[in-house]
């Protein structure tokens, strides 16, 4: 059985990655990743750019509807996620539009931070 652990935090309060606090957070996450990897329970995960870079995709009346911003409806909750490779946002949106849930729910498209 797999669990998706979705990390919610206050973006406005996030420390600058270059600051000592930011470094401390980074190191704490690195240690956690190492720990779950050593325990062989790590099945993947990514750090996301903040929600100002998010795009929400829906299919309504068979039309692809694209809007700026994250998904922010409290009636529906995050039910899963895919990690996909795409050359640009248009391709990522096209893939998001094919997810079955786009027809009745919404898909939030968030770029993944390249830590490599």
* Residue numbers at the binding site for another protein (CB under 8 A): 49, 52-55, 64, 66-69, 87-90, 93, 109, 111
> By C-beta, is 9 or 52 nearer to another protein?
52
Residue 70 sits at the vertex; the CA angle it makes with 65 and 74, to the nearest 5 degrees, is 100
Measured from the CB of residue 53, what is the shortest distance to another protein in angstroms? 5
> By C-beta, is 20 or 87 nearer to another protein?
87
Measured from the CB of residue 67, what is the shortest distance to another protein in angstroms? 7
Enter the tokens of residue 2: 């797999």
Q: 3-class DSSP state for residue 21? A: helix
Enter the tokens of residue 103: 């027809």
> By C-beta, is 66 or 99 nearer to another protein?
66
DSSP state of 12: G
């Amino acid at each position: 059985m797999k669990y998706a652990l979705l990390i919610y935090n206050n973006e406005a309060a996030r420390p600058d990655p270059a600051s000592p606090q930011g470094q401390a957070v980074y190191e704490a996450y690195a240690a956690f990743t190492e720990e779950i990897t050593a325990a062989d329970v790590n099945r993947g995960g990514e750090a996301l750019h903040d929600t100002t870079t998010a795009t929400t995709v829906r299919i309504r009346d068979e039309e692809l509807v694209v809007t700026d911003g994250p998904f922010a409806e409290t009636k529906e909750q995050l039910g899963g996620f895919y990690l996909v490779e795409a050359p640009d946002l248009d391709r990522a949106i096209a893939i998001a539009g094919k997810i079955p849930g786009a027809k009745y729910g919404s898909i939030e498209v968030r770029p993944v931070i390249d830590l490599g």
